[in-house]
Amino acid sequence: MPYIITKTNGQTLTVIDDAEVDINSTSLTLIGKNYAGYGLVLDQNFVKLLENFASNSQPSNPLQGQLWFNNSASNKKLNVCYDGVNFKSIANLTVKDSTPGGSIIGDLWWDTRQKQLKAYDGSSYTLIGPEISAAVNSQWAFENETPVENPNTEYTVIKANFGNTPFLTITPIDANTGTFTPVIGSNLRSNFINGVKRGITLAGCDANGSSESAGNYFWGTASDAKSAKVKTASTSSNANHFVTFAQNQSGDQKLYTTSTFFFNPSTNVLNATATAARYADLAERYEADAVYVPGTVVIVGGEKEITVTRMAANPAVAGVISKTPAYMMNSEAGSDETHPYVALKGRVPCKVYGPVTKGDLLVTSRHPGYACAYVHGDHPKAAFATALESFSGEFGVIEVKI
């Protein structure tokens, strides 16, 4: 009797026949019942786990949450597979009072003597913060301020202080409030008499947001901004508003519009003659009863909107979980974990249970999340895709046309 191996979330990973091993579903060798010499395979699996698959290239067929130690000379980092396909590194953090040895690019060091966080750039450690000025009283300060308007609330404010006089503030205060008045006793009170605004506020700003009377500006390559004037735009919503294009990516610009590309607020429609997309499928978000990886075949059903099935040629098939859809419908419905994109049309990778021949119609298989070739007698409405390539193995991923 074969072993049916499932993931922590209950999703079937693979089925292993008696006296067989599976080397394709994961980075480990999975052993079937009554396999001769299974002790050696188990020992090798334990070694791989103990060393976190130490290699200068990532392990094949990873599972979400799998660890891999990149032992290349320029890396030496522990990585985690975050989506079942890709790895990202876990930061190396050293806590001590002197410069760590054996550092590689990206390492972090909390300097307990200076009480600062630093990052290694390949030759030395660069300060991340906090930045401390040579003048003890001239520095960036992170403080909580109480607004006059609501004494029971506090806003986090970053201040640029010269001595005890704040010159500039940065704060992400409530967008609906937009501003607050500092209470008496705050060092913001005298220089921010018109309130502290959401975002960046210069000392001496008047009620219209101008700091000209105080002589405070942002200077540099954008110094002309101090003389910019605001022009009142058309308030008509029943009009076409044309999209502007820049000639270059940087430097001096020439701006262009075209009569065929515009937006009308009254209809909330963007008009264009033609569009192009980098990826190849049209997909829509649907609520799933579990987290499904790209390529999984799903049906309409389960506790939510979509699920997987063990029924071969299920006519309730919805489509295939897409990783990078070209056109994303219902995009605000949720996240990729709760409401993954389901490819409805186009070209997309699909998990299959072989064999499959290029040109075969595909239906759901008895292995949840996998498609298989249509056979005579299957439900006529169960076919949902056409194989774009052949596959002679048992479990794999191929390109299909939905």
For the segment 385-399, the average pLDDT, to the nearest whole number, is: 96
**How are strands ordered across the β-sheet holding 262-264?**
241-242, 262-264, 269-271
Q: How far is CA 71 from the centre of its chain?
A: 26
Among 74-83, 207-216, 337-346, name the one with the lowest average pLDDT: 207-216
pLDDT digits (tens, 9 = 90+) for 111-138: 887 788 889 888 888 888 776 544 455 6
pLDDT score recorded for residue 133: 45
Q: How far is CA 334 from the centre of its chain?
A: 13
Eight-state DSSP code of residue 55? B
Q: Fold for 281-401, please state it.
A: Virus Head Decoration Protein; Chain: A, (2.40.300)
For the segment 231-245, the average pLDDT, to the nearest whole number, is: 70
> What residues does CATH 2.40.300.10 cover in the chain?
281-401
pLDDT digits (tens, 9 = 90+) for 14-70: 999 999 999 999 999 999 999 999 999 999 999 999 999 999 999 999 999 999 999
Among 78-82, 204-208, 231-235, 349-353, name the one with the lowest average pLDDT: 231-235
3-class DSSP string for 368-401: CCCEEECCCCCCCCCCCEEECCCECCCEEEEEEE
Confidence class for position 4, pLDDT limits 50, 70, 90: very high
pLDDT score recorded for residue 136: 52
Distance CA 215, CA 100 (A): 46
pLDDT digits (tens, 9 = 90+) for 297-356: 999 999 999 999 999 999 999 999 999 999 999 999 999 999 999 999 999 999 999 999
Which secondary-structure segment (H or E) carries 45?
helix 38-50
Phi, psi of 297 (to 5 degrees): -85, 130
Q: Give the Å distances, CA to CA, from 323 to 106, 305, 328.
A: 28, 19, 11
Give the burial string for 35-74 (b: 16+ CB within 10 Å, else e).
beeeeebeeebeebeeebbeeeebbeebbbebbbebeeee
Distance CA 348, CA 256 (A): 36
Phi, psi of 338 (to 5 degrees): -95, -35
pLDDT digits (tens, 9 = 90+) for 178-207: 888 888 888 888 888 888 888 888 888 888
Confidence class for position 392, pLDDT limits 50, 70, 90: very high
Give the burial string for 95-131 (b: 16+ CB within 10 Å, else e).
eeeeebeebeeebbbebeeeebebbbeeeebeeeeee
pLDDT score recorded for residue 293: 96
Residue from 300, 316, 305, 293 nearest 369 by CA: 293
For the segment 219-238, the average pLDDT, to the nearest whole number, is: 57
Confidence class for position 5, pLDDT limits 50, 70, 90: very high
Distance CA 384, CA 345 (A): 10
Residue 360 has pLDDT above 80, yes or no: yes
Confidence class for position 394, pLDDT limits 50, 70, 90: very high
